[in-house]
Structure 1
Amino acid sequence: MTERWPRLLPHHGRFDYSPITRRPDWRWPNGARLAVYLGFNLEHFAFGDGLGARIGPTSAREPDVLNHGWREYGNRVGAWRCLELFDQLALPTGALINTALYDHCPELVAACVARGDELIGHGHSNAERQADFDEAGERALLQRCSARIASESGAAPIGWLSPWISESNVTPDLLAETGYRYTLNWCHDDQPTRMRTRSGRSLWAVPYPQELNDIPMIVARQMDAKDFCAMVRDNFEEMRQQAVRQPLVMGLALHPYIFGQPYRLRHLRPLLEALAAARAHGEIWFTTPGQICRHMDALAVERPDDF
C-alpha cells in the first residue's frame, strides 16, 4: 500500500491555528491592553521519593536531603518573604497550590486566602506526574483537589496547572467535566484560547509562561537572578508596546524556594515595583488568571462569533 504524501501530522484538535495578527479586537477592564499576573507556585514534595527540582546532583540513594531541604526552604522562609513583598506593593497572586500543603503547612495557604489571592489547583504533590494516572485516577485527582480546596479554603478552584505540566490525551476533557473553567498547561499564545472538549463544555487556555518562569530559566539554564529580572522587564516593555495594537496577557511564574532566596528577592523587588507603578498609572491590568477567565467568559457571551 502506497503511503499518502504529504501525510497530515497528528493534531490535538483542541483549537485551530490562528495567527496573532488576525484576531478580533477587544479590551481588558478599565480599557487596559496588557493583562499581567503573578503565578506563585506553592508546592510540597515527598521526602525520600518522587520528583522535584534540584539544586545539586541527584543522590544515588534516598533520602536526598540536599534537594528536599532546598525546596522546603520555600515553604518555611521564601514564601513568607515573597508574601511580605507582595503585601507591600498590594499585588494579588494566582497561588498554584499542591493540596498536600493543607497537611504540611496550612498556615501558608491560609495566608494566601487572607490576602485574597486566587487558589489554583496544582495537583496533590509535585512529586508525581499527572500523566502517570489512568483516566479514572486522573479524574479522581482533579475531583479530590477541588473538593479539598473548597473544604479547607471556602471555594472550589476554577483553574488548574498540572504538576510538571504533565497531561494525558483527555486532561482538558476531564478538567471541563470536573468543574474547572481554565487550564494553565498550554503556553502556545499571548491571548486566551477557547479549547474544544468532548462534552462541549468551554475550557479556556490562559497563557502561562515557560520563559518568564524561574525553574526553566534559573534552574535549567542557570540564569542569574539579575539577568532573569532584566529579561522579564524587557519582555514587559516589548509586550506593552505590542499591546497598543491588541490585548495581550503576560504571566510571571515564581517558586519561593528559588525567588524567596534573599539575593534573588533583592532583584525581584524593583521589578515588581515597576509593574506596580505601571498599574498605578493605568497602563496595565494587574490581575489573576481567574479574573482573565471570567473576563473572557463575559466577552464570549457578548460576542459569540468572535470567541
Structure 2
Amino acid sequence: MSLKTHGRYRYSPISGRPHYDWPDGKRLAFYLAVNVEHFHFGEGLGHTPSYATPQPDVRNYAWRDYGLRVGIWRLFDLFDELELPACLLVNSAVYDYAPQVLERARVRGDEIVAHGRTNSERQGDLGEAAERALIHEATATIARHEGQMPQGWLGPWISETKATPDLLKEEGYSYVLDWPLDDQPVWLTTRAGPLLAMPYPVEINDAPALLTRHHTAADFTGMIVDQFDEMLNQSAQQPLVCAISLHTPIVGQPFRLAQLRRALQHIRTQADNGQVWFTRPGEIAKHVATLPPGIVPGSET
C-alpha cells in the first residue's frame, strides 16, 4: 500500500546523521518563542481559558487582551532579569493596536517572526491567491515598521494549505516553524527552492499544555525543566534545538509567571557549563545555511 505524502522531506533517523556544532562549539541551541497576538472583537477564532460564550465573547476577548496590556510586559521584565534573548511571533495587527510592544522588542534586540495578520483567522481555510495575499500583507506590514522583512513564519494556529511552504519561499522567507518533525533543523523542498523547517514545540507550549490538556502551572514548569535537562544530556551526542513556546495571556498571569521564572532560572543555572547557545531562530537558520551540503537533512546533493 502506498500512502499519500507531502513530498517536502524524506525520512532521516536522527541517530545516523553527520556531526556538526553550533557556534563556538556549543551543543544545545535554546530559544524562547513568545506569541504576540491580536484578535477581532465579536467574531473569529481565539484561545479561551474556559468555555466560549456567544459573541461578543467579552470575557475571553478581554482575557486575550490582557496579554498585550500586562502579560508581555511582565515577560519582557523577566527576560531582562535573566538576560535571555527572545523571538516574538507577531500578528501584524499588533503594529496598529499596540506599537509600544514592538518598540520594547527593538530595544531588546528581539527577533520578529511573522505570525500572520491575526489569530482570529486560519490561512489553511483559504485558496492559494487569498493565502498569498495574507502572507504578503503580513510581511509588508512588518517590513515597513522594522526596515526589513522577517526571516521566519509561524502560521496562525500552525495552519497550512498544501501550497504554504511554496508561497513562503516565493515571498522570501528563510525558515518556517509550522512543522514540528525534529529536534534539528531540516530542509523542506518547495517549488522555489529549499525552506528550513525550524524546531518549534507543540508539547512545551503553554497553550495546548495549560488550556487543552489542563496541566497546572507547576506541571508546565516540570515539563520545561525535564525537556531542557534531557536535551542538554542528549546534545553531547549531536547538536539539538530546545525551544519554549509562550503566549502572553497565559504565562503572563502572575501565578504562572512565578512558575516560569523558576524554570528559566533553572535553565540559566544548568547552562553554566558553556554548552548552551542562548539564541533566536533566525540566528540558527543563518548558521545552518553555512553548513556544507549533506550535513543537514534535505541538503543532500
TM range (shorter): over 0.9
1:242 aligns with 2:234: yes
Structure 1 counterpart of 2:206, from 214, 217, 225: 214
1:122 aligns with 2:111: no
Task: Summarize deviations over 1:76-104 as a string: whole Å, max 9, x none.
Answer: 00110010000111111110000000111
Q: Which residue of 2 aligns with 1:4?
A: none
What is the distance in 2 between the residues matched to 1:225 and 1:215?
11
Residue type of the alignment partner of 2:27: R
The structural deviation recorded for 1:281 is 3.7
Q: Which residue of 2 aligns with 1:275?
A: 267
Matches within 5 A, 1:283-298: 283-298=275-290
The structural deviation recorded for 1:57 is 1.4
Residue type of the alignment partner of 2:264: L
Task: Summarize deviations over 1:30-65 as a string: whole Å, max 9, x none.
Answer: 111111110010000110000011112111x21001
Deviates more, 1:279-288 or 1:24-33: 279-288
Structure 2 counterpart of 1:227, from 191, 209, 219: 219
Task: Summarize deviations over 1:184-218 as a string: whole Å, max 9, x none.
Answer: 0000100000000012x220000000000000100
Q: When the two structures are superposed, what TM-score results if normalisation uses the length of structure 1?
A: 0.94
What is the distance in 2 between the residues matched to 1:106 and 1:161?
20
1:17 aligns with 2:11: yes
Name the SS of the counterpart of 1:92 in structure 2.
coil
What is the distance in 2 between the residues matched to 1:58 and 1:224?
20
Whether contact under 8 Å (1:48, 1:62) holds in the other structure is: yes
Structure 1: which 5+ residue stretches go unaligned?
1-6
Matches within 5 A, 1:30-179: 30-59=24-53, 61-179=54-172
What is the distance in 1 between the residues matched to 2:236 and 2:272?
18
Residue type of the alignment partner of 2:24: N
What is the distance in 1 between the residues matched to 2:31 and 2:241?
8
What is the distance in 2 between the residues matched to 1:174 and 1:279?
38
Residue type of the alignment partner of 1:305: G
Residue type of the alignment partner of 1:116: G
What is the distance in 2 between the residues matched to 1:259 and 1:139?
32
What is the distance in 1 between the residues matched to 2:250 and 2:294?
43
Query: Alpha carbon RMSD of aligned pairs, Å?
Result: 1.0
Structure 2: which 5+ residue stretches go unaligned?
none
Q: Which residue of 2 aligns with 1:305?
A: 294
The structural deviation recorded for 1:280 is 4.5
Residue type of the alignment partner of 2:34: F
What is the distance in 1 between the residues matched to 2:275 and 2:184?
18
What is the distance in 2 between the residues matched to 1:147 and 1:280?
40
What is the distance in 2 between the residues matched to 1:248 and 1:259?
25
Name the SS of the counterpart of 2:15 in structure 1.
coil
Whether contact under 8 Å (1:44, 1:126) holds in the other structure is: yes
Q: Which residue of 2 aligns with 1:3?
A: none
Larger radius of gyration between Structure 1 and Structure 2: 1
Residue type of the alignment partner of 2:294: D
Q: When the two structures are superposed, what TM-score results if normalisation uses the length of structure 2?
A: 0.96
What is the distance in 1 between the residues matched to 2:294 and 2:89?
32
Task: Summarize deviations over 1:124-164 as a string: whole Å, max 9, x none.
Answer: 00000011121111111111111111111222101000000
The structural deviation recorded for 1:279 is 4.1
Report how many aligned residue pairs link the two structures: 296
1:258 aligns with 2:247: no
What is the distance in 2 between the residues matched to 1:171 and 1:133?
10
